A and B are shown apart, each in its own frame.
Chain A
Amino acid sequence: MSTMSSTTERTARIAAPVLVGLLGLAVWQLLVSVGGVSEYLLPSPSEIWTELRENSEAIREATWITGGNALAGLVFGTVLAVLLAAIAGWARWFDGMLAPVVASIAVVPIVALAPVLNSMYGADSEYGRRAIAALAAFVPVFVNTLRGLRQTTPLHRDLMSTYAASPWQTFRSLTLPSATPYLLTGIRVASSLAVISALVAEYFGGPRGGLGSFITTSAATSAYARAWAYVAAAILLGLGAYLVTVLLERLVQHRLPTGSIR
């Protein structure tokens, strides 16, 4: 039983996480400046901010590289996923063959492939990392697109056949609008995974220059505040990718509402 009015509830829902965030930052700053926690363990937010400003050029370049890898992987993974999902939606046996492969990819550490891919593509190529990002992006897009393609109910298909609609017309008016929101959900989930995979792949060797490689080298040379600055940039990259895809998803959902098909 709610004892709050709805406006109070709305403000509380927004205020609460903001407060928690601010509290966290405050505690952090306090621990470092007053609590005597050594800079080695945890640089203060202000120190990290300083490093961010000082190295902004290098950080921007590194973000470009990692972000570029993530984007390339996302695009390639999405294209492949949509193609295979289309075939899988059309041929049950193909889906039967593909399903365990996809399920396996989802649970195994794909980044384990990173070192081998780097040596296959050559140590100066970014394509090993892009392949990993593509593989990571593939799974959610495939699963969601397939689900979207299956959203047409027998009821709707019967309706289309009473209109003597051609397969192309059915696809355009029924299958495509039903599947598109799911595709976009898949891209939203995949974007985060692509960024994470592109970043992590950098820990496994390959050309220098991405956010991940700077994090490792900074940590290795005990420049912790700088390492955290790069970590912060990585977090912003992930957040940015997520927000862009959420916006895209909302935009399309606005014009093509999902909701249960009756």
Chain B
Amino acid sequence: MQETVRIVGVSKTFATRSGEVHALADVDLTVGEGEFVSLIGPSGCGKSTLMRLVADLEQPSAGTVEVFGKTPRQARNDQDYGIAFQQAGLLPWRTVAANIALPLEIHRVGRAERKQRVAELAELVGLSDFADHHPDQLSGGMQQRVAIARALAERPRLLLMDEPFGALDEMTRERMQSELARIAVETGAAVVFVTHSIPEAVFLSDRVVVMSPRPGRITTVITTGIGRDVARDEALRESPAFFEKVTEVREGLHGVPVRSPALEGR
């Protein structure tokens, strides 16, 4: 089975005015079909950079990135992924419906088909009643829901999300996590999810990738073992198994980087 994302020996260095910044060093990672993978680590560990490399918003300084067996640029041109950032990034002059329709418009999808798809997506994120509102009339959580609907517009098999719930309050955040989990299962998409909330990572993911401070390496990868059939709800958050996994991730965050076997002997 073809992997959704395959990252091998990737490093990324930025040239800044105050010298070189080594954001990532020798990172290996694969994401399987329909798998939910979280990237977690302290600020500056390169988790966002790693996601951006997959999105073709940055290019690696060394190593390779493959998305559905293609280069990230090709995957981007083929619109194989949908992306959501920490800010919703909605265009203020467009209504909710028009914002969701943005990628469809750019890819010249016909009007009737656009209308139908937008209605479906608005329904999926529970905002059908707000389709004619403008972003400045919506709360932060609602704006993020629109951003997620927009990311799903072209039925991508891969979702890239960079701390999409970071700007929300805790209660809204937990609600949105349940929503996202449901959507991920319903659409069957793989998700690469960047966060620095440990409970969020454990709650949502099949695997949690713990990264070290700059230069970013993968410290450890923890399998949550929470199956797809387990409901993502309050009961899960309060279960002892959940707390154990959270503890495991926390300890991983304090741990030592794992040497990638591909680099042994270099």
Contacts and interface: CB of A to CB of B under 8 A. Distances in A.
Q: Are A and B close enough to touch in the complex, i.e. CB under 8 Å?
A: yes
Interface of A: 5-6
Contacts of B108: none
Contacts of B17: 6
3 contacts: A5-B15, A6-B15, A6-B17
Interface of B: 15, 17
A6 B20 CA distance: 13
Nearest to A6: B17
Nearest to A5: B15
Contacts of B15: 5-6
A24 to B, nearest CB: 33
Nearest to B58: A1
A6 B15 CA distance: 9
Contacts of A5: 15
A35 to B, nearest CB: 46
Nearest to A1: B59
A5 B20 CA distance: 13
A204 B136 CA distance: 51
A5 B17 CA distance: 11
A108 to B, nearest CB: 32
Nearest to B17: A6
B49 to A, nearest CB: 15
B156 to A, nearest CB: 23
A187 to B, nearest CB: 32
Contacts of A6: 15, 17
A247 B15 CA distance: 32
B14 to A, nearest CB: 12
A6 B19 CA distance: 12
B72 to A, nearest CB: 13
For the complex of A and B, the 3 pairs showing the least CB-CB separation, nearest first, are A6-B17, A6-B15, A5-B15
B66 to A, nearest CB: 21
A10 to B, nearest CB: 11
